[in-house]
């Protein structure tokens, strides 16, 4: 899959979320979540360590990224992935 194809898929999925009434990401009472760090998340030979992420912190950092696109880093993809997971949870309700 190319990045363009992935972008198309994500765009379609965001359109689905909008069509189901999701217009804003709201963490509500949820904030902290479990995360499996790299490279352990793809190593099936052992039990991975867990780290803790924060949805609220992710939103703050992604908002900074919108204002300063030059600060983009690989960790921002992890933050965006957490937001996609949040949308997935909302759609699954």
Please list the pLDDT of the chain residue by residue as tens digits (93 residues): 999 999 999 999 999 999 999 999 989 899 999 999 999 999 999 999 999 999 999 999 999 999 999 999 999 999 999 999 999 999 998
Least Cα distance to 60 among 20, 85, 84, 27 occurs for: 27
pTM: 0.91
Of 29, 41, 76, whose CA–CA distance to 84 is shortest? 76
Sketch the domain layout of the chain as residue ranges. Answer: 3-92
Closest listed residue to residue 92, CA positions, set 24, 4, 13: 13
């Amino acid at each position: 899959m190319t990045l363009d194809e992935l972008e198309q898929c994500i765009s379609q999925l965001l359109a689905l979320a909008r069509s189901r009434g999701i217009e804003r990401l709201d963490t509500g009472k949820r904030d902290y979540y479990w995360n499996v760090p790299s490279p352990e998340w793809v190593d099936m030979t052992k039990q991975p360590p867990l780290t803790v992420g924060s949805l609220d912190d992710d939103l703050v950092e992604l908002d900074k990224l919108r204002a300063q696109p030059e600060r983009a880093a690989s960790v921002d993809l992890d933050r965006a992935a957490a937001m996609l997971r949040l949308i997935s949870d909302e759609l699954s309700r």
